[in-house]
Amino acid sequence: MNNPLVSVIIPNYCHAQYLTQRIESVLNQTYQNFEIIILDDCSPDNGASRAVIEKYRGNSHVSHIIYNETNSGSTFKQWNKGVNLSKGEYCWIAESDDFCEPSFLETLVSHVLTYPNVSIAYCIPQFVDKNGTLIRPVQESEVPEFIKGDDFVRTPMSYTNAVWNASAAIFKKEYVLEIDKCYMDYVAAGDRMFWSLLAKKGNVVYVPKRLSWFRQHGNEVSPAKKRQGITGHEDYRILSYMEQHGWLSWLESIRARHIYLLDVETFQYDNSSIRQELLDQWSFGGRFPIGLIHFIAKCYMAYLRRVTSR
Protein backbone atom coordinates (compact mmCIF):
# COMPACT_ATOMS: atom_id res chain seq x y z
CA MET A 1 0.00 0.00 0.00
CA ASN A 2 1.54 3.31 -1.13
CA ASN A 3 -0.83 5.51 0.84
CA PRO A 4 -1.43 3.75 4.18
CA LEU A 5 -3.88 5.15 6.70
CA VAL A 6 -2.16 6.56 9.79
CA SER A 7 -4.05 6.70 13.08
CA VAL A 8 -3.00 9.78 15.05
CA ILE A 9 -3.60 9.23 18.76
CA ILE A 10 -3.63 12.42 20.86
CA PRO A 11 -3.67 11.52 24.58
CA ASN A 12 -4.37 14.67 26.58
CA TYR A 13 -4.09 15.51 30.25
CA CYS A 14 -4.39 19.17 31.27
CA HIS A 15 -2.75 20.58 28.13
CA ALA A 16 -5.61 22.84 27.03
CA GLN A 17 -3.24 25.74 26.27
CA TYR A 18 -1.28 23.61 23.78
CA LEU A 19 -4.06 21.51 22.26
CA THR A 20 -4.99 23.85 19.43
CA GLN A 21 -1.39 24.03 18.20
CA ARG A 22 -1.05 20.25 18.54
CA ILE A 23 -4.21 19.41 16.64
CA GLU A 24 -3.69 22.05 13.96
CA SER A 25 -0.14 20.79 13.35
CA VAL A 26 -1.65 17.38 12.62
CA LEU A 27 -4.45 18.70 10.42
CA ASN A 28 -1.94 20.72 8.38
CA GLN A 29 0.15 17.71 7.36
CA THR A 30 1.12 17.44 3.71
CA TYR A 31 0.25 13.73 4.01
CA GLN A 32 -3.52 13.68 4.48
CA ASN A 33 -4.52 10.01 4.79
CA PHE A 34 -4.97 9.92 8.56
CA GLU A 35 -7.58 9.72 11.28
CA ILE A 36 -7.38 11.49 14.63
CA ILE A 37 -8.27 9.85 17.95
CA ILE A 38 -8.45 12.30 20.85
CA LEU A 39 -8.32 10.82 24.36
CA ASP A 40 -8.71 12.99 27.44
CA ASP A 41 -7.65 11.30 30.69
CA CYS A 42 -10.15 13.06 32.98
CA SER A 43 -8.30 16.40 32.94
CA PRO A 44 -9.14 18.36 36.14
CA ASP A 45 -8.99 21.74 34.39
CA ASN A 46 -12.57 22.98 34.75
CA GLY A 47 -13.47 21.96 31.23
CA ALA A 48 -10.65 23.87 29.52
CA SER A 49 -9.41 20.81 27.59
CA ARG A 50 -12.93 19.78 26.65
CA ALA A 51 -13.66 23.25 25.28
CA VAL A 52 -10.73 22.99 22.88
CA ILE A 53 -11.40 19.38 21.91
CA GLU A 54 -15.06 19.98 21.16
CA LYS A 55 -14.12 22.54 18.50
CA TYR A 56 -12.90 19.59 16.43
CA ARG A 57 -15.94 17.37 16.81
CA GLY A 58 -17.31 16.85 13.34
CA ASN A 59 -13.96 17.37 11.61
CA SER A 60 -13.68 14.78 8.85
CA HIS A 61 -10.33 13.56 10.18
CA VAL A 62 -11.52 13.07 13.77
CA SER A 63 -12.85 9.53 14.24
CA HIS A 64 -13.02 9.35 18.06
CA ILE A 65 -13.24 11.75 20.97
CA ILE A 66 -13.23 9.97 24.32
CA TYR A 67 -13.24 11.45 27.82
CA ASN A 68 -12.27 9.14 30.68
CA GLU A 69 -14.62 9.37 33.67
CA THR A 70 -11.69 8.55 35.98
CA ASN A 71 -7.99 9.07 35.44
CA SER A 72 -6.25 5.96 34.07
CA GLY A 73 -3.08 6.64 36.07
CA SER A 74 -0.89 5.78 33.06
CA THR A 75 -0.25 7.46 29.74
CA PHE A 76 0.74 4.02 28.43
CA LYS A 77 -2.77 2.70 29.07
CA GLN A 78 -4.04 5.59 26.98
CA TRP A 79 -1.63 4.61 24.20
CA ASN A 80 -3.03 1.09 24.24
CA LYS A 81 -6.62 2.36 24.20
CA GLY A 82 -5.85 4.51 21.17
CA VAL A 83 -4.23 1.66 19.28
CA ASN A 84 -7.22 -0.58 19.94
CA LEU A 85 -9.54 2.11 18.55
CA SER A 86 -7.39 2.79 15.51
CA LYS A 87 -8.08 1.69 11.95
CA GLY A 88 -4.75 2.66 10.42
CA GLU A 89 -1.89 0.44 9.33
CA TYR A 90 0.43 2.76 11.24
CA CYS A 91 -0.07 4.75 14.42
CA TRP A 92 1.39 7.98 15.75
CA ILE A 93 1.24 9.00 19.43
CA ALA A 94 1.04 12.78 19.04
CA GLU A 95 1.52 14.01 22.60
CA SER A 96 -0.88 16.83 23.43
CA ASP A 97 1.73 19.47 24.33
CA ASP A 98 4.01 18.86 21.34
CA PHE A 99 3.71 19.98 17.71
CA CYS A 100 5.34 19.12 14.40
CA GLU A 101 6.41 20.22 10.95
CA PRO A 102 3.85 19.85 8.11
CA SER A 103 6.14 17.30 6.42
CA PHE A 104 6.36 15.00 9.48
CA LEU A 105 4.00 12.26 8.28
CA GLU A 106 4.97 12.48 4.62
CA THR A 107 8.64 12.01 5.49
CA LEU A 108 8.24 9.12 7.94
CA VAL A 109 5.64 7.29 5.87
CA SER A 110 7.92 7.45 2.84
CA HIS A 111 10.67 5.78 4.87
CA VAL A 112 8.52 2.96 6.25
CA LEU A 113 7.55 2.22 2.64
CA THR A 114 11.14 2.37 1.40
CA TYR A 115 12.76 -0.07 3.85
CA PRO A 116 11.78 -3.69 4.62
CA ASN A 117 9.58 -4.70 7.55
CA VAL A 118 9.78 -1.41 9.46
CA SER A 119 8.13 -1.51 12.87
CA ILE A 120 9.28 1.98 13.98
CA ALA A 121 10.32 5.10 12.08
CA TYR A 122 11.39 8.11 14.11
CA CYS A 123 13.01 11.49 13.67
CA ILE A 124 14.90 13.97 15.84
CA PRO A 125 12.67 15.72 18.37
CA GLN A 126 13.72 19.34 18.68
CA PHE A 127 13.41 20.66 22.24
CA VAL A 128 11.41 23.79 22.98
CA ASP A 129 10.43 25.37 26.28
CA LYS A 130 6.87 25.75 27.55
CA ASN A 131 6.47 28.87 25.40
CA GLY A 132 7.67 27.12 22.24
CA THR A 133 11.08 28.81 22.20
CA LEU A 134 13.93 26.72 20.79
CA ILE A 135 16.32 25.19 23.32
CA ARG A 136 19.17 22.71 22.91
CA PRO A 137 19.35 22.70 19.08
CA VAL A 138 19.98 19.24 17.63
CA GLN A 139 22.18 18.59 14.61
CA GLU A 140 20.43 17.32 11.48
CA SER A 141 21.68 15.02 8.74
CA GLU A 142 20.43 14.11 5.27
CA VAL A 143 21.16 10.39 5.59
CA PRO A 144 18.56 8.10 7.22
CA GLU A 145 19.75 5.08 9.19
CA PHE A 146 18.23 1.63 8.76
CA ILE A 147 18.74 -0.57 11.82
CA LYS A 148 17.79 -4.19 12.26
CA GLY A 149 15.39 -4.52 15.17
CA ASP A 150 17.57 -6.94 17.14
CA ASP A 151 20.56 -4.61 16.79
CA PHE A 152 18.48 -1.62 17.88
CA VAL A 153 17.55 -3.44 21.09
CA ARG A 154 21.13 -4.48 21.85
CA THR A 155 22.45 -0.99 21.06
CA PRO A 156 21.16 1.44 22.22
CA MET A 157 17.89 0.32 23.83
CA SER A 158 19.57 -2.00 26.34
CA TYR A 159 21.02 1.03 28.14
CA THR A 160 18.99 4.06 27.06
CA ASN A 161 15.79 5.14 25.32
CA ALA A 162 16.79 6.16 21.80
CA VAL A 163 13.23 7.23 20.94
CA TRP A 164 13.32 10.31 23.15
CA ASN A 165 9.76 11.38 22.46
CA ALA A 166 6.72 9.40 21.30
CA SER A 167 5.59 12.36 19.18
CA ALA A 168 8.65 11.83 16.97
CA ALA A 169 7.73 8.29 15.84
CA ILE A 170 5.23 6.28 13.86
CA PHE A 171 4.87 2.53 14.26
CA LYS A 172 3.08 -0.47 12.80
CA LYS A 173 -0.23 -1.20 14.52
CA GLU A 174 -0.18 -4.92 13.72
CA TYR A 175 2.92 -5.40 15.84
CA VAL A 176 1.56 -3.49 18.82
CA LEU A 177 -1.35 -5.92 18.94
CA GLU A 178 1.15 -8.80 19.14
CA ILE A 179 3.60 -7.53 21.78
CA ASP A 180 3.60 -8.15 25.52
CA LYS A 181 1.36 -5.56 27.20
CA CYS A 182 3.73 -5.31 30.19
CA TYR A 183 4.66 -1.76 29.13
CA MET A 184 1.34 -0.61 30.58
CA ASP A 185 2.51 -1.66 34.06
CA TYR A 186 5.17 1.08 34.07
CA VAL A 187 4.75 4.69 35.18
CA ALA A 188 8.14 6.10 34.09
CA ALA A 189 9.93 3.85 31.57
CA GLY A 190 7.00 2.23 29.78
CA ASP A 191 7.90 3.99 26.54
CA ARG A 192 11.34 2.36 26.49
CA MET A 193 9.75 -1.05 27.06
CA PHE A 194 7.20 -0.31 24.32
CA TRP A 195 9.80 0.66 21.71
CA SER A 196 12.02 -2.30 22.62
CA LEU A 197 9.17 -4.78 22.22
CA LEU A 198 8.20 -3.21 18.90
CA ALA A 199 11.80 -3.25 17.61
CA LYS A 200 11.94 -7.00 18.19
CA LYS A 201 9.02 -7.42 15.77
CA GLY A 202 10.67 -5.68 12.81
CA ASN A 203 13.26 -3.08 11.86
CA VAL A 204 13.85 0.58 12.70
CA VAL A 205 14.46 3.65 10.55
CA TYR A 206 15.99 6.74 12.10
CA VAL A 207 15.43 9.94 10.12
CA PRO A 208 17.87 12.61 11.43
CA LYS A 209 15.61 15.54 10.59
CA ARG A 210 13.99 17.98 13.04
CA LEU A 211 10.35 17.28 12.23
CA SER A 212 8.84 17.16 15.72
CA TRP A 213 8.93 19.70 18.54
CA PHE A 214 9.22 18.31 22.06
CA ARG A 215 8.01 20.69 24.75
CA GLN A 216 9.95 20.85 28.01
CA HIS A 217 8.22 22.23 31.09
CA GLY A 218 9.81 23.69 34.20
CA ASN A 219 8.10 21.10 36.41
CA GLU A 220 8.91 17.96 34.44
CA VAL A 221 7.51 14.74 35.94
CA SER A 222 10.26 12.49 34.55
CA PRO A 223 13.20 14.03 36.51
CA ALA A 224 11.16 13.77 39.72
CA LYS A 225 10.55 10.07 39.09
CA LYS A 226 14.25 9.58 38.47
CA ARG A 227 15.19 11.39 41.69
CA GLN A 228 12.77 9.12 43.58
CA GLY A 229 14.38 6.02 42.06
CA ILE A 230 11.24 5.00 40.18
CA THR A 231 12.85 5.28 36.74
CA GLY A 232 15.94 3.36 37.88
CA HIS A 233 13.88 0.45 39.18
CA GLU A 234 11.82 0.33 36.01
CA ASP A 235 14.94 0.48 33.83
CA TYR A 236 16.23 -2.49 35.79
CA ARG A 237 12.99 -4.38 35.15
CA ILE A 238 13.44 -3.75 31.43
CA LEU A 239 17.02 -5.02 31.42
CA SER A 240 15.94 -8.08 33.39
CA TYR A 241 13.18 -8.71 30.81
CA MET A 242 15.74 -8.49 27.99
CA GLU A 243 18.07 -10.88 29.80
CA GLN A 244 15.34 -13.39 30.63
CA HIS A 245 14.13 -13.44 27.01
CA GLY A 246 17.64 -13.92 25.60
CA TRP A 247 17.80 -10.59 23.79
CA LEU A 248 21.30 -9.80 25.08
CA SER A 249 24.55 -11.68 25.41
CA TRP A 250 26.22 -11.72 28.83
CA LEU A 251 28.74 -9.09 27.72
CA GLU A 252 25.97 -6.86 26.32
CA SER A 253 24.21 -7.12 29.66
CA ILE A 254 27.42 -6.20 31.51
CA ARG A 255 27.84 -3.18 29.22
CA ALA A 256 24.29 -2.03 30.00
CA ARG A 257 24.85 -2.45 33.75
CA HIS A 258 28.13 -0.55 33.50
CA ILE A 259 26.44 2.41 31.78
CA TYR A 260 23.58 2.50 34.28
CA LEU A 261 25.95 2.20 37.23
CA LEU A 262 27.94 5.20 36.00
CA ASP A 263 24.75 7.23 36.02
CA VAL A 264 23.60 5.95 39.42
CA GLU A 265 26.98 6.75 40.97
CA THR A 266 26.74 10.43 39.97
CA PHE A 267 23.02 11.28 39.88
CA GLN A 268 21.52 13.32 42.73
CA TYR A 269 18.68 11.24 44.19
CA ASP A 270 16.27 12.43 46.87
CA ASN A 271 18.31 10.51 49.45
CA SER A 272 21.38 8.28 49.64
CA SER A 273 19.41 5.12 50.37
CA ILE A 274 17.88 5.27 46.88
CA ARG A 275 21.35 5.34 45.31
CA GLN A 276 22.56 2.41 47.42
CA GLU A 277 19.48 0.36 46.59
CA LEU A 278 20.01 0.94 42.88
CA LEU A 279 23.75 0.21 43.08
CA ASP A 280 22.96 -3.12 44.72
CA GLN A 281 20.30 -3.88 42.13
CA TRP A 282 22.48 -3.14 39.09
CA SER A 283 25.40 -5.17 40.52
CA PHE A 284 23.47 -8.44 40.50
CA GLY A 285 21.91 -7.87 43.91
CA GLY A 286 25.22 -6.62 45.31
CA ARG A 287 26.84 -10.01 44.65
CA PHE A 288 29.15 -8.77 41.87
CA PRO A 289 31.84 -6.11 42.52
CA ILE A 290 30.94 -2.87 40.76
CA GLY A 291 34.57 -2.25 39.86
CA LEU A 292 34.70 -5.60 38.07
CA ILE A 293 31.56 -4.78 36.09
CA HIS A 294 33.17 -1.52 34.95
CA PHE A 295 36.42 -3.29 34.04
CA ILE A 296 34.78 -6.05 31.99
CA ALA A 297 32.49 -3.59 30.21
CA LYS A 298 35.36 -1.26 29.30
CA CYS A 299 37.36 -4.18 27.89
CA TYR A 300 34.35 -5.31 25.85
CA MET A 301 33.69 -1.82 24.53
CA ALA A 302 37.35 -1.37 23.60
CA TYR A 303 37.21 -4.68 21.72
CA LEU A 304 34.10 -3.54 19.82
CA ARG A 305 35.83 -0.30 18.82
CA ARG A 306 38.83 -2.19 17.47
CA VAL A 307 36.62 -4.56 15.49
CA THR A 308 34.53 -1.79 13.92
CA SER A 309 37.58 0.31 13.06
CA ARG A 310 39.14 -2.41 10.92
Q: Give 171-210 pLDDT, tens digit per residue.
A: 999 999 999 999 999 999 999 999 999 999 999 999 999 9
Cα-based distances in Å from 198 to 46, 68, 103: 37, 27, 24
Amino acid at 292: L
pLDDT in tens, 124-182: 999 999 888 988 788 899 899 999 999 999 999 999 999 999 999 999 999 999 999 99
Which positions ≥6 away from 213 have C-beta within 8 Å? 98, 99, 100, 101, 125, 126, 127, 128, 132
Low-confidence ranges of the chain (pLDDT < 50): none
Confidence at residue 308, expressed as pLDDT on a 0 to 100 scale: 86
d(CA 89, CA 120): 12
Cα 305 to chain centroid distance, Å, stands at 28
d(CA 215, CA 130): 6
Reduced to 3 states (helix: H, G, I; strand: E, B; else coil), residue 173 is helix
Cα 234 to chain centroid distance, Å, stands at 14
The verdict on whether omega for the bond into residue 156 sits within 30 degrees of 0, i.e. cis, is yes
Which positions ≥6 away from 220 have C-beta within 8 Å? none
Beta bridge pairs of residue 125: 212
Confidence at residue 223, expressed as pLDDT on a 0 to 100 scale: 86
d(CA 295, CA 72): 44
Q: What are phi and psi of 235, to 5 degrees?
A: -60, -40
d(CA 183, CA 188): 10
The radius of gyration computed from the CA coordinates of the chain, to the nearest angstrom, equals: 20
| Contact in structure between 148 and 116 (CB atoms under 8 Å) | no
